[in-house]
Chain A
Amino acid sequence: MSEHLLAAFVDASALVALADSGDATHAGAVAAYEQLREGGYRLFTTEYAITEAYELLRLSLGNDLARSWLAKLEIARYHLDEADIARAHHRLVTDDRLASRSLTDALNITAMERLGVHDAFAVDAGFPVDSIG
């Protein structure tokens, strides 16, 4: 991979923090997003993260704004294949570092590993970026 290519995975927590201006992390998330843009990063996420973020936004902002958010979302999505999913399941049941994490986290980490990406944009301190092999 070109040494010039910078990429970061965007976690559900960052998607929500950017959208919800009432959250305590909003301003920091906007600043971090601008830094990623200025830094030349390519940003991507997964349908799993989007599903998680959508459900959170339905709860916090209501159905109409959540739907509007989804319509405006233009970020690239990495689609995990069957091998990725099987690997994520295996990781979740065998890697103790993921013992308290969700299946969504395991799937997202697997996507990052598959793409060789080590940077994640998350505001939830629990995002297990140190589990990426």
Chain B
Amino acid sequence: MSQSEQITVQEAARLLGRSTEQVRRYLREGKLEGTRIGGQWFIDRKRTETFRRDLSSPRAFLLEIAPARIADPLGATIGIGSGGRSDLSLGQAAYRESFRWRQRR
């Protein structure tokens, strides 16, 4: 981390034009990096300014996504079933072909 000034959630909220609740959510979900000391968040000012610029860019969408390490967005779908013999590395057409018998039923 750089040696930039550390600011509080209240100051970050002012900088970002967001509520303090929203800033705490960003921190909890890992969207904005901060350090928690004695129950209080401290955030690098330069990082907060970069985050503010990003929020107004087309890529703001990405900032609203929690890192997969935290969100595990596909975890509940892993191994949900077994189709049988197939190999997706050969392409989707080959995958479809593996199950063509099912289409004919």
Task: Determine which of A13, A20, A40, A78 lies in contact with B67 in the assembled complex, contact meaning CB atoms within 8 Å.
Answer: A40
In the bound complex, CA of A126 to CA of B76 (Å): 27
Interface bracket on A: 35 or more
Task: Determine which of B47, B69, B89, B96 lies in contact with A56 in the assembled complex, contact meaning CB atoms within 8 Å.
Answer: B96
A20-B81, A21-B81, A124-B88 known; A59 vs B74 contact (CB < 8 Å): no
A24-B89, A25-B89 known; A15 vs B68 contact (CB < 8 Å): no
Are A76 and B69 interface neighbours, CB within 8 A?
no
A68 — which chain B residues lie within 8 A by C-beta? 80
A19-B80, A65-B81 known; A60 vs B74 contact (CB < 8 Å): no
Are B88 and A73 interface neighbours, CB within 8 A?
no
Are A73 and B77 interface neighbours, CB within 8 A?
yes
A47-88 CB contacts (< 8 Å) to partner B: 52, 56-57, 59-62, 65, 68-69, 72-76, 78
CB distance from B88 to the nearest CB of A (A): 5
In the bound complex, CA of A16 to CA of B96 (Å): 12
Are B96 and A19 interface neighbours, CB within 8 A?
no
Are B58 and A60 interface neighbours, CB within 8 A?
no
B67 — which chain A residues lie within 8 A by C-beta? 37, 40-42
Are B79 and A19 interface neighbours, CB within 8 A?
yes
B21 — which chain A residues lie within 8 A by C-beta? none
CB nearest to B62 among chain A residues: A7
In the bound complex, CA of A118 to CA of B85 (Å): 31
Are A2 and B47 interface neighbours, CB within 8 A?
yes
Q: B59 in the interface, Cβ–Cβ < 8 Å?
A: yes
CB nearest to A16 among chain B residues: B88
Q: A17-41 vs B: 1/0 string, CB under 8 Å?
A: 1111111111000100100111011
CB nearest to B72 among chain A residues: A37
Q: List 18 A-B contacts (CB under 8 A).
A: A2-B47, A15-B77, A17-B88, A18-B74, A20-B83, A20-B88, A21-B81, A22-B85, A23-B86, A24-B88, A26-B79, A33-B74, A37-B72, A42-B65, A42-B68, A62-B81, A74-B71, A76-B65
